[in-house]
Structure 1
Amino acid sequence: MNEQLYNTDYAHWAETMAERLDKRDFEHLDIENLVEEIKDLSKRERDRLLSSIRLIIHHLLKWDYQPHKRSRSWEITIKRERNNIDFYLEDSPSLRKYLSEEWVTKIYRNAYLDAMKETGLDFPQNCPYSIAEILEREVKQ
């Protein structure tokens, strides 16, 4: 029954599992799917952080390579995503391990493609930004 509920009504399944956990009804838990969901929670948190980094890089590329088109909107997006990163790290300090050159290199490819599709410009093949620049560099119109 747990598997069927998981596949047909995820929200109801989650509520049911929470109730069973709260009541310490361990015998009726859907352990297999609970384990997968807990693993996915970590990935979702990581992906939110990486998405913010990607957006910042995307907007920094546009900022640097299209100075004549700089907008308050780009500035707001960069600052908003930096604030989001601060919140993510406050809630989950272990996410700091993704603030590395290795992860920036992985993320850069997608940010580069996004910016290239949007602008028609060609950008450097390798990320021109350090972690510190991504997280702290001043952008003002």
Structure 2
Amino acid sequence: MGLHDLDDRPATTRRRPAGLYEADFHRWTQEQARALDVRDHAALDIRNLIDEVESVGRSQRNAIESHLRVLLMHLLKFQVQPERASPSWRHTLRAQRGAITRLIRRNPSLRGYPAEILAEVYRDAVEDAARETRLPQERFPGSCPFPLARILDPDFEP
């Protein structure tokens, strides 16, 4: 059963009503929280609630993707320019790994997500690393040279 199944109106009649959701999102959230708390089903904006709940889930995945991309970019910079490694690069590695670890600890169902997106995120990280180092993309390996366990290992530096 998906979230959309909670709204039992036919899909053709589900429409996002113009109103508070668009006019004052914060107030809408407060009113929806109150309606949920007191079980006032008639006051619930089911369609927009579904969209917002799904959005929260997407934001957790997007956060992991973003942290992994920055982490990979810095690992690549370490690999191709070890002489330029700096304390700030090491801080970035720690910060990105810590953020990924916390997100997965809070969302255990996303434990496998970094492995799912590694190849795609790696390609983006290569573009970022090439831009930051001003080196051609061909200077970087075509596929990720680091196993995920090493990428997330707090002590690993290429």
Instruction: Return the structure number with greater helix share.
Output: 1
Deviations along 1:50-82, one digit per CA (max 9) or x if unpaired, are 111111101000111111110000101111111
Deviations along 1:22-41, one digit per CA (max 9) or x if unpaired, are 11111111000100111111
Paired positions, count: 139
Alignment partner of 1:109 is 2:130: no
Work out the percentage of aligned pairs sharing the same amino acid: 37
Q: How high is the TM-score relative to the length of structure 2?
A: 0.82
- Give the gaps of 5 or more residues in structure 2: 1-15
| Correspondence for 2:151 | 134
Q: Provide the rounded CA distance (Å) in 2 between the counterparts of 1:39 and 1:79.
A: 29
Structure 1 residue corresponding to 2:113, chosen from 98, 101, 119: 98
Q: Which moved more, 1:70-79 or 1:83-92?
A: 83-92
Q: How high is the TM-score relative to the length of structure 1?
A: 0.91
The aligned runs of 1:1-141 (5 Å cut-off) are 3-100=18-115, 102-121=116-135, 122=137, 123-136=140-153, 138-139=155-156
RMSD in angstroms over aligned alpha carbons?
Answer: 1.7
DSSP 3-state at the match of 1:99: helix
List 4+ stretches of structure 1 deviating above 4 A. none
Say which one has the larger Rg: 2
DSSP 3-state at the match of 1:124: coil
Counterpart code for 1:134: I
- Give the gaps of 5 or more residues in structure 1: none
DSSP 3-state at the match of 1:129: coil
